[in-house]
Structure 1
Amino acid sequence: MKRKRTLIACGISILLFSGGCSNIDMGTKSESQKTDTKQDESDRPKDMYESVLTYTGDGYDLPGGEENEEIAKEHKDEVIKATKDYLKKEYNTDVEVHNIAGNQDGVTVFYESVGNIHFYSTAIVPIDTQNKKILTDQVWTLEGRVETAIKGALYAYIMDNEFEVLDDLLESIGKNNHIVGRLEESLENTGGNGYMTPYYFVVVRDDEAMTPVYNLYMKKPSASRQELAAEYLPSKFDSEKIGFSVQFFMKDQKSKPDKNVLDLIVNEIERNDGVPKGHYEVRLHDNYVIKSKSEGFKDNSLERAYPDEIIKN
């Protein structure tokens, strides 16, 4: 039986779309909107920040997890097997485990799906800390987390042509404007946000158009792309239910986010009708990642986001 708990606060490396965890005050003019876009590297202590160009997840930390993480490392094979068994039983999905991070109740396991559809997500393996025992029969996931990840991966799978257009567009923008995405290793080790690329991740929530696609996959994970696509209901599509979080970082370690570059990204997405349908939020950070949280959000980050998302119908 699935054991789930509701996500009631920001954490475990999930970056929410609207409201939620973003620390950006849209009512205040950012320093990065001024003419001088350079910043002093001393503002970024090495023990707290690392360049996105090198960050792979080292330093990621969850509160109160030090002891459990050490226990989990001693029983790593048990943790991995428990995670794989749970995902296979509950979601018909094979996974590869990339990272284990201790938390107050046990360990958060970061994994990547193996097979036709591709996504990153997490599971929690509880630990009896006093007896140093891995509770392999009590694995659980955050409410809706895996379902959302699978739906996003399925959307990318059946809309592969549109996603290729988006990938090519964002890669071109990055190359031509001195901005970068995240390293793939950081997605593997601390991502967990479903269908992800270095430049964006996708969230599909309660979308009626995708529901029959998801249902077929759960019954028949070996279903072909054509079979899954045939289940999609375009008449039920709702752009508010499918979200894209596009995130870039400045390539130069001394540069602050540039408002002109943010506007260029937004304009390119707005004018391109070949990208996947949904609503898009765009964020531009400086060059650094907060190591312990694996996120780029800082006071100088810029965004085009809720309630002014880019809508592609």
Structure 2
Amino acid sequence: MQNNLGILLFSVSIPLLLGGCFGQESKIETQSSQISVQDYTGEGYALPYGRVTDEIAEKNLDGIRDATIKFFKEKYKTDVTVHNVVGAKDGATVFVESKGEPHFYTYAVVPIDELAKKVWTEKIWADEFQVENAIKGGLYSMIFKEEFKQLDNYFDSLAAEGQITGRTVESIQNVGGHGFSTPYYFISLADETAIQPVYDLFMKSPDESTDNLRKAFKDNAFSAEALFINIQLFMADPNAKPDKKLYDRIIKNLEEMNSIPRGSYSFVLNDHFIDKQSSSGMGDHSLDLVNDIIKE
């Protein structure tokens, strides 16, 4: 289905590192692992084969944090905050958030030798595609700030009605890694031709003005079908299943709005709960848009 393409493209290399993230979600969930989306901060999230490495990482948090901050500053010209470190097979996944703009979330990996109980901070690495995609999504939101403000205002107004809610900011920080993200959606890109000159300018001059970054954007190379705005909303009522009338109304609103960012919009409406271990909100009752809404 087209609406899953953005998620799949963005998560193509995530499964081994971030098993269970959005886009790798299983609809088979147990009641014991469920928690209110409004209470979920990432606590209980786990990666495969990470119990031992998680314990080793916990004892070396300061070194991991320092190495990660240095890595992103030197390689990607970006100051980051380290929010969470989660053990995984042969290493630890470090979830970070950029400081200021462009704003994005991503992750790095620190190798760990379980037998020697050694943390190889000097060998820290990150998937270049994931990080660059995250930065480019942040740059896109930065140079089209007014359009994203309109989109954010719409979701805030929906939440104010009391029917829907989004993820907590803490959960995005602690188990995020999805580029430019808000409680209601995240961005991913399949074709980076239009944004690449913006990225190149930013890497050359991180303090470049937003106006100059916007001028570097190649409008004639932009494809709305290749920039994905992946929306995931939750019912605010713990006892409510996803409401089809509300779901249809939101789709209609998105189709009629002309001032929101250009892109390909996918949309999922879940019930009120999220799986603690996988950070997944998808379930048997989730309503999932079959064809993306394309905003040219």
Return the TM-score normalized by structure 2.
0.91
Instruction: Report the equivalent of 2:48.
Output: 63
In 2, the alpha carbon distance for the partners of 1:10 and 1:303 equals 25
Shift of 1:11: 6.0
The Cα of 1:14 is off from its aligned counterpart by: 4.1
Query: Could you list the runs of 4 or more consecutive aligned residues of structure 1 that deviate by over 3 angstroms after TM superposition?
Result: 8-11, 21-24
1:257·1:301 contact (CA, 8 Å) conserved in 2?
A: yes
Counterpart check, 1:109 vs 2:94: yes
Deviation, structure 1 residue 82: 1.3
The one-letter code sitting in structure 1 at the alignment partner of 2:48 is P
Closer, same or farther in 2 for the Cα pair 1:271/1:10, shift >3 Å? farther
Matched, 1:188 2:173: yes
**Counterpart code for 1:260:** K
Whole-angstrom distance in 2 between the partners of 1:287 and 1:196: 19
Task: Say if 1:66 and 1:23 are closer, same or farther in 2 by CA, change over 3 A.
Answer: closer
Cα distance in 2 between the residues matched to 1:274 and 1:198: 20
Do structure 1's residue 163 and structure 2's residue 163 form an aligned pair?
no
Higher deviation after alignment, 110-119 or 154-163:
110-119
Aligned residues: 283
Unpaired runs of at least 5, structure 1:
1-5, 25-42
Residues 94-133 of structure 1 deviation map (CA, whole Å, 9 limit, x = unaligned)? 1000011100111111110013211111111111111111
Residue in 1 that maps onto 2:126? 141
8 Å CA contact retained: 1:181, 1:198? yes
Which of 278, 282, 285 pairs up with 2:267? 282
State the percentage of identical aligned residues.
40
Provide the rounded CA distance (Å) in 2 between the counterparts of 1:128 and 1:209.
41
Counterpart check, 1:15 vs 2:34: no
Measured at CA, do residues 208 and 249 of structure 1 come closer, stay the same or move farther in structure 2, by a change above 3 Å? same
Decide whether aligned partners of structure 1 residues 8 and 14 sit closer, same or farther in structure 2, where only a CA change above 3 A counts: closer
Q: Is the 8 A contact 1:177 1:261 kept in 2?
A: no
> How far apart, CA to CA, are the structure 1 residues paired with 2:38 and 2:50?
27
The answer on whether the counterparts of 1:23 and 1:299 sit within 8 Å (CA) in structure 2 is no
RMSD: 1.7
CA distance in 2, matches of 1:44, 1:174: 27
State the AA in 2 paired with 1:203: S
Deviations along 1:250-281, whole A, 9 cap, x unmatched? 11111111111111111111100000000000
> After the TM superposition, which residues 1-313 of structure 1 pair with which residues of structure 2 at under 5 Å, given as runs?
7=13, 9=15, 12=18, 14-16=21-23, 21=24, 45=31, 47-176=32-161, 178-305=163-290, 308-313=291-296
Q: Residue 28 of structure 1 corresponds to which residue in structure 2?
A: none
Equivalent position amino acid for 1:132 in 2? K
CA distance, structure 2, for counterparts of residue 185 and residue 157 of structure 1: 22
Letter in 2 for 1:226: D
Q: Which runs of 5+ in 2 are unaligned?
A: 1-11
Q: Deviations over 1:259-309 (max 9, x none)?
A: 11111111111100000000000100000001001110111111114xx10
